[in-house]
């Protein structure tokens, strides 16, 4: 009997394979998945690029952020979610064991008396159902789910890299804002003293009103700019707290370095290999998505094949409850069967077309991720060169203005110059210094963008 059952299953499989081949040729659905030697999966490890700036305070802030940031926690939770889904998919490859106690009431009529009698058929079976993964349908589903876990892991890596870059850039902007506020306070004090002196000269008829008005108008502009920097300071500190997973309330007095000790982590002429973009987590994620889509296409194609199940039942069957667990009431069944869908309303064909289109979409996404990665690194390199040149230019301009201020101060001390000229010279030093500081921080942030665009490392 068992030989007959297995023979029927084998014939059914052959028939369905032929039907599947006919459907594939008729609808021109040809997708070939190349089977080659398995290559080791790329593993992303976040490189602590922020340590190259030699700032222990920054290192501590990033460590806190990687531990407490809520976006990090969300990404970690999504990994656990995908792992749980993998568990549900993987469990489909294992046999299912269940128990199904049931009662079936029925009536009979006596052939002798013609009277009806009520009875209950009692069942207490232990059922086993196991889908045999002959065609690898379940194995492919597991592979697809494993790719989903890896994609979720790359989501976490993307979040970590983005967070570390944002923390570093925000930290530098806070330092820049501090330096600008300090200089603007001196600028405003300088202008107030200049206006006081010019007003005396104007009252004495020694200068025109235009001269006084121009300085007063400059003071208004500098005061407005100073107020905007004060506002920006609070916003930057609040955002910095949120990035570290801390409430911005009463957390604005953070320790930070000064702008004068910040240095570039590498020389701007350092050769950088653009193929490092393949180490980016978003590029790895796009590649994993493409592999998963190919597996999903294969799963959709195998849906045309039958499902082969092994069924076993062992338990008790009796007409009376008192006999339910007797040895004479024991029943046992073992069998196998193939489930073949003859008509599903076009669902399987539509599902196959859908997965093919998804695979095409993932291919475009992968190419787009590469293009964006190349664009980001090229933009960062261009910005670094431009901002570095600006920094060098402003640095030279500040040196000249400092020399001019020394000359004006010497003249004032020796009595050959006046206080207003000395104040004007000092303001020019502060203005050039502000421009130099801004260019310096822009250059530093450009290096952060380069690290980010290359996945956290330039080597």
- Written as one string, the DSSP assignment of 230-254 is HHHHHHHHHHHHHHTT--STT----
- Identify the CA nearest to 148 among candidates 368, 361, 297, 295: 295
pLDDT mean over 194-205: 91
pLDDT computed for residue 251 by the predictor: 67
Query: Residues 6 or more apart from 159 whose CB is under 8 A from it?
Result: 69, 71, 72, 75
Asked whether 158 and 284 are in contact (CB, 8 A), the reply is: no
pLDDT over threshold 90, residue 438: yes
Q: How confident is the model at residue 125 (pLDDT cuts 50, 70, 90)?
A: confident
CA 310 to chain centre: 43
pTM of the model: 0.82
Q: How confident is the model at residue 4 (pLDDT cuts 50, 70, 90)?
A: very low
pLDDT mean over 337-342: 85
pLDDT computed for residue 147 by the predictor: 95
Is the pLDDT higher at 308 or at 152? 152
Among 15-29, 202-216, 273-287, 385-399, the least confident range:
15-29
- Identify the CA nearest to 329 among candidates 106, 121, 99: 121
Q: How confident is the model at residue 99 (pLDDT cuts 50, 70, 90)?
A: confident
Tell me the sheet residues that pair with 310.
Answer: 130, 336
Among 97-106, 242-251, 335-344, 347-356, the least confident range:
97-106
H-only helix segments in 28-136 = 56-68, 70-90
Asked whether 277 and 342 are in contact (CB, 8 A), the reply is: no
- Identify the CA nearest to 140 among candidates 33, 26, 276, 243: 33
Q: How confident is the model at residue 20 (pLDDT cuts 50, 70, 90)?
A: very low
Round to whole Å and give the CA distance between 290 and 299.
14
pLDDT computed for residue 325 by the predictor: 67
Tokens at 137, concatenated = 């349908």
Asked whether 288 and 154 are in contact (CB, 8 A), the reply is: yes
pLDDT computed for residue 365 by the predictor: 95
% of the chain with per-residue pLDDT over 90: 61
pLDDT computed for residue 40 by the predictor: 60
Query: Residues 6 or more apart from 55 whose CB is under 8 A from it?
Result: 171, 257, 262
Round to whole Å and give the CA distance between 237 and 171.
9
Please identify which residue in the block is written with the tokens 């959709």: 300
pLDDT mean over 385-389: 95
Tell me the sheet residues that pair with 120.
Answer: 105
Q: Which domains does the chain have, with CATH numbers?
A: 35-94+135-305+346-453 (1.20.1600.10)
pLDDT computed for residue 44 by the predictor: 83
Is the pLDDT higher at 309 or at 440? 440
Strand 116-132 versus strand 96-99 pairing type: antiparallel
Is the pLDDT higher at 371 or at 8? 371
- Identify the CA nearest to 448 among candidates 141, 162, 118: 162
- What pLDDT digit, counting tens, does each position of 161-175 carry? 999 999 999 999 999
Mean pLDDT for the chain overall: 85
- What pLDDT digit, counting tens, does each position of 399-426 carry? 999 999 999 999 999 988 899 999 999 9
Round to whole Å and give the CA distance between 170 and 58.
10
The residue length of the chain stands at 459
Cα angle 189, 193, 195 (rounded to 5 degrees) comes to 115
Round to whole Å and give the CA distance between 293 and 368.
16
Among 30-34, 121-125, 380-384, 413-417, the least confident range:
30-34
State which H helix or E strand residue 44 sits in. none
Number of neighbouring beta carbons within 10 Å of residue 290? 18
């Amino acid at each position: 009997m068992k030989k007959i059952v297995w023979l029927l299953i084998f014939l059914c499989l052959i028939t369905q394979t032929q039907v599947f081949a006919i459907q594939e040729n008729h609808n021109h659905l040809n997708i070939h998945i190349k089977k080659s030697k398995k290559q080791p999966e790329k593993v992303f490890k976040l490189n602590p690029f922020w340590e190259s700036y030699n700032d222990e305070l920054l290192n501590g802030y990033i460590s806190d952020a990687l531990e407490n940031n809520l976006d990090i926690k969300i990404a970690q939770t999504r990994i656990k979610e995908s792992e749980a889904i993998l568990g549900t998919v993987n469990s489909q490859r294992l046999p299912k064991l269940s128990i199904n106690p049931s009662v079936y009431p029925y009536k009979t009529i006596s052939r002798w008396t013609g009277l009806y009698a009520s009875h209950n058929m009692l069942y207490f079976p232990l059922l086993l159902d196991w889908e045999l993964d002959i065609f690898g349908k379940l194995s492919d589903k597991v592979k697809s789910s494993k790719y989903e876990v890896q994609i979720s892991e790359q989501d976490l890596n993307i979040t970590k890299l983005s967070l570390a870059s944002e923390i570093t850039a925000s930290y530098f902007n806070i330092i820049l804002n501090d330096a600008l506020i300090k200089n603007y306070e001196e600028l405003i004090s300088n202008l107030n003293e200049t206006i006081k002196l010019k007003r005396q000269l104007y009252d004495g008829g020694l200068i025109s009103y235009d001269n006084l008005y121009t300085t007063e108008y400059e003071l208004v502009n500098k005061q407005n700019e100073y107020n905007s920097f004060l506002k920006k300071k609070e916003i930057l500190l609040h955002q910095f707290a949120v990035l570290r997973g801390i409430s911005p309330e009463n957390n604005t007095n953070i320790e930070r370095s000064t702008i004068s000790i910040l240095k570039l982590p590498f020389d701007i002429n350092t050769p950088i290999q653009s193929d490092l973009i393949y180490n980016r987590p978003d590029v790895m994620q796009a590649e994993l998505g493409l592999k998963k889509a190919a597996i999903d296409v294969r799963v959709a194609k195998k849906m045309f094949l039958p499902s082969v199940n092994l069924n076993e039942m062992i338990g008790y069957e009796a007409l009376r409850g008192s006999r339910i667990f007797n040895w004479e009431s024991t029943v046992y069944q073992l069998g196998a069967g193939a489930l073949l869908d003859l008509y599903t309303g076009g669902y399987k064909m539509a599902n196959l077309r859908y997965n093919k289109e998804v695979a095409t979409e993932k291919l475009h996404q992968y190419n787009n991720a590469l293009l964006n990665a190349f664009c980001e690194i090229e933009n960062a390199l261009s910005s670094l060169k431009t901002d570095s040149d600006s920094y060098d230019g402003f640095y030279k301009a500040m040196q000249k203005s400092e020399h001019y201020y020394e000359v004006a101060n010497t003249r004032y001390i020796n009595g050959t110059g006046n206080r207003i000229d000395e104040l004007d010279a000092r303001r020019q030093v502060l203005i050039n210094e502000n421009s130099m500081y801004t260019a310096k921080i822009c250059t530093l942030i450009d290096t952060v963008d380069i690290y980010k665009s290359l996945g956290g490392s330039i080597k």
